[in-house]
């Protein structure tokens, strides 16, 4: 049996980090089993579609290295060839789409797509006749029925149920209609939906992650299968598509677990074999609430824009709910494919620890060559008005690499290198912990200026230690009482690379200019 999995997102906006994890787990499992991964666009809720969302999704999957075997693909002119997919032709970082919800004609939404694979169409709005066909079959077999209830009647029913403290469920009023009444209503064009008729009893199934699961059907509502606009709901469309696309394993989020018994009944009612289910744990905030926009970034694009590297983000989300047998943290994509196991996915929710992600990203940043890191950082610098091309940029980036957690931090760490002059915050020169006041700062800088003016060797930071530390010995002060004022003079920052490294990176002329301007500020 060939393993076939699917990842079926809706085109409703940015790609949620949880959705990327679901896509990744499907990909890892499928690659390991030498199977096929299908991408399917679930766009049956036409009111929530966002222009550009499908294109953005496909670009995000490409950026993440998640290759799929069947599904929609971008036409040749839309294929991304550069490493950073969210840049314009100048290499500047841009947001890929608007988050505004729009109603778009399908020709506008999908004109830039074509398809690969033998199970298409891979966009649900192009498969409506299939859903209607199987909905009609369910009606004929007694597993579904027409419902003509108005919104007003349904609202009145809900209010009554609430007053009696009953679970909100459809009361099967239209199940009592005879064939003639139904035919008359349909002829008159009365608005209607098609509902699933949930059977009595228990529905049981085995889940790879959760084991044996049982649902009592009396707790399940007669859900809508076909809406009044003729579009299917998720429940019918995903079952029909999974069957026709020969999906063997349904790997999806825990939020779909309560819907699974409804789906199983549809499989059984249509006489189809069940796929194997695996429901992934939720992603949680540190306070154990569901990961949400209110408490931080959740869109993959936001992580990309902030400068999280692909390998780091993939490594991190792979470990959100799953861990291999060995106690390691850093894995390549090939490592993950080799080691991944659905049986080692935990049931409990996985906490999204941003501090750990930052640490992991810094590890991957340190693995890059300075040239590779510079290529990634330059697009962030190009957004700044103060940025100018500089032949020493590799030296500057070398100095910040150890402290860099995400690429978007780079402009703040590098800005002082590119400015012609610094507007000093005089209070920074003082440091109570090191017992540095304004007078000591001024005295230390004057000695440093006089000493360095006559010093010729500036190639390496080691060349500058001897003359500067001789000042410390001469003045009988502590190292910090000289180096702190120098750090501020060179950067106007409390946190920066070391003084010796800064002097070597600046060179003699620029270093002395900075020290001189700092002295003028302190003397004024």
pLDDT of residue 266: 98
**What average pLDDT score do residues 123-130 get?**
96
The 10s digit of each residue's pLDDT in 324-346 is 888 889 999 999 999 999 999 99
Who has greater pLDDT, 140 or 460?
140
Catalytic residue among 141, 293, 367, 453: 293
Strand locations in 197-308 (E): 202-207, 211-216, 224-226, 249-253, 276-280, 283-284
- Which helix (H) or strand (E) covers residue 39, if one does? strand 36-39
Find out whether 50 and 100 touch, Cβ atoms under 8 Å: yes
Q: 296-327 pLDDT, tens per residue?
A: 678 999 999 999 999 999 999 999 999 988 88
pLDDT tops 80 at residue 105: no
Determine the Cα–Cα distance for residues 308 and 159; give it in Å rounded to an integer: 49
Catalytic, 293? Answer: yes
Check residue 294 and give its pLDDT: 60
List C-alpha distances in Å: 266 to 138, 197, 236: 8, 10, 8
Of the pLDDT bands very low, low, confident and very high (cuts 50, 70, 90), residue 524 is confident
Tokens 């510079």 correspond to: 374
| Res 26: pLDDT | 98
- Evaluate if residue 463 carries a pLDDT over 90: no
211-216: strand order across its sheet: 211-216, 202-207, 276-280, 249-253
Q: Give the residue-averaged pLDDT of 264-280.
A: 98
Higher confidence at residue 94 or residue 171? 171
pLDDT in tens, 187-201: 999 999 999 999 999
Tell me what pLDDT residue 47 has. Answer: 82
What is the pLDDT confidence band of residue 12, given thresholds at 50, 70 and 90? confident
Q: What does the CA dihedral 104, 107, 110, 114 come to, rounded to 10 degrees?
A: 170
Percent of the chain exceeding pLDDT 70 equals 93
Mean pLDDT, rounded, for 63-86: 73
97 pLDDT higher than 50:
no
Per-residue pLDDT for 86 more than 60? no
pLDDT for the residue numbered 108 = 56
Per-chain mean pLDDT for the chain: 91
Q: Per the structure block, which two tokens stand in for 484? A: 């702190």
For the chain, what percent of residues have pLDDT higher than 90? 82
How many Å apart are CA 315 and CA 64, to the nearest integer? Answer: 11
Is 301 in contact with 14 (CB distance < 8 Å)? Answer: yes
- Rounded to an integer, the average pLDDT of 216-232 is 94
Q: Tokens in use for 310?
A: 């692909």
Q: Would the pLDDT of 80 be above 50?
A: no
Residue with tokens 């044996």: 212
Per residue in 468-480, pLDDT (tens digit) is 999 999 999 999 9
Report H helices in 384-437. 393-400, 410-418
What is the model's pLDDT at position 295? 57
pLDDT in tens, 17-56: 999 999 999 999 999 999 999 999 999 888 888 888 999 9
Which pLDDT score, from 0 to 100, does residue 219 have?
87
C-alpha span between 280 and 347 (Å, rounded):
7
Bridge partners (DSSP) listed for residue 92: none
How large is the average pLDDT for residues 131-140? 97
Q: What pLDDT does residue 472 have? A: 92
Report how far apart, in Å, the C-alpha atoms of 241 and of each of 131, 183, 237, 363, 481 are.
9, 29, 6, 42, 71
What mean pLDDT do residues 216-229 have?
A: 93
Whether the per-residue pLDDT at 388 is higher than 50: the answer is yes
């Amino acid at each position: 049996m060939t393993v076939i999995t699917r990842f079926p997102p809706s085109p409703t906006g940015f790609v949620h980090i949880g959705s990327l994890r679901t896509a990744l787990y499907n990909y890892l499992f499928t690659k390991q089993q030498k199977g096929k991964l299908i991408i399917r666009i679930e766009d049956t809720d036409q009111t929530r579609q966002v222009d550009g969302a499908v294109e953005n999704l496909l670009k995000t999957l490409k950026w993440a290295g998640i290759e799929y075997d069947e599904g929609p693909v971008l036409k040749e002119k839309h294929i991304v060839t550069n490493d950073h997919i969210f840049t314009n032709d100048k290499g500047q970082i841009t947001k890929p789409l608007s988050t505004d919800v729009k109603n778009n004609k399908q020709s506008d939404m999908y004109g830039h797509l074509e398809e690969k694979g033998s199970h298409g169409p891979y966009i649900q709005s192009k498969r409506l006749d299939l859903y209607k066909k199987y909905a009609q079959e369910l009606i004929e077999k007694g597993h579904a029925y027409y419902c003509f209830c108005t919104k007003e009647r349904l609202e009145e029913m809900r209010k009554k149920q609430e007053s009696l403290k009953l679970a909100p469920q459809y009361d099967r009023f239209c199940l009592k209609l005879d064939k003639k009444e139904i035919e008359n209503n349909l002829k008159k064009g009365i608005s209607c939906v098609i509902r699933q008729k949930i059977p009595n009893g228990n529905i049981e199934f085995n889940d790879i992650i959760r084991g044996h699961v049982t649902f009592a059907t009396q707790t399940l509502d007669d859900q809508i299968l076909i809406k009044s606009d003729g579009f299917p709901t998720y429940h019918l469309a995903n079952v029909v598509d999974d069957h026709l696309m020969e999906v063997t394993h349904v790997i999806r989020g825990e939020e779909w677990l309560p819907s699974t018994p409804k789906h199983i009944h549809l499989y059984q009612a249509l006489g189809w074999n069940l796929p194997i289910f695996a429901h992934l744990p939720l992603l949680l905030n540190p306070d154990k609430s569901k990961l949400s926009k209110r408490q931080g970034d959740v869109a993959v694009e936001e992580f990309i824009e902030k400068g999280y590297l692909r390998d780091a983000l993939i490594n991190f989300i792979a470990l959100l709910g799953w861990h291999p047998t060995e106690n390691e943290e850093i894995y390549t994509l090939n490592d993950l494919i080799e080691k991944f196991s659905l049986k080692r996915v935990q049931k409990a929710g996985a906490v999204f620890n941003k501090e750990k992600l930052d640490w992991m990203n810094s590890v991957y940043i340190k693995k890059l060559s300075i040239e590779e890191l510079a290529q990634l950082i330059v697009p962030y610098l190009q957004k700044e008005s103060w940025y100018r091309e500089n032949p020493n940029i590799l030296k500057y980036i070398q100095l910040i690499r150890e402290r860099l957690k995400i690429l978007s931090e780079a402009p703040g760490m590098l800005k002082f290198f590119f400015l012609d002059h610094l507007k000093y915050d005089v209070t920074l020169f003082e440091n109570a912990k090191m017992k540095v006041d304004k007078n000591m700062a001024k005295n230390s800088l004057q000695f440093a200026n006089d000493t360095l003016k006559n010093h010729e060797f500036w190639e390496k930071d080691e060349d500058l230690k001897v003359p500067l530390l001789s000042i410390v010995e001469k003045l009988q002060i502590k190292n910090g009482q000289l180096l702190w004022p120098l750090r501020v003079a060179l950067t106007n920052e409390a946190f920066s690379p070391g003084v010796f490294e800064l002097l070597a990176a600046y060179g003699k002329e620029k270093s002395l200019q900075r020290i001189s301007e700092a002295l003028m500020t302190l003397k004024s």
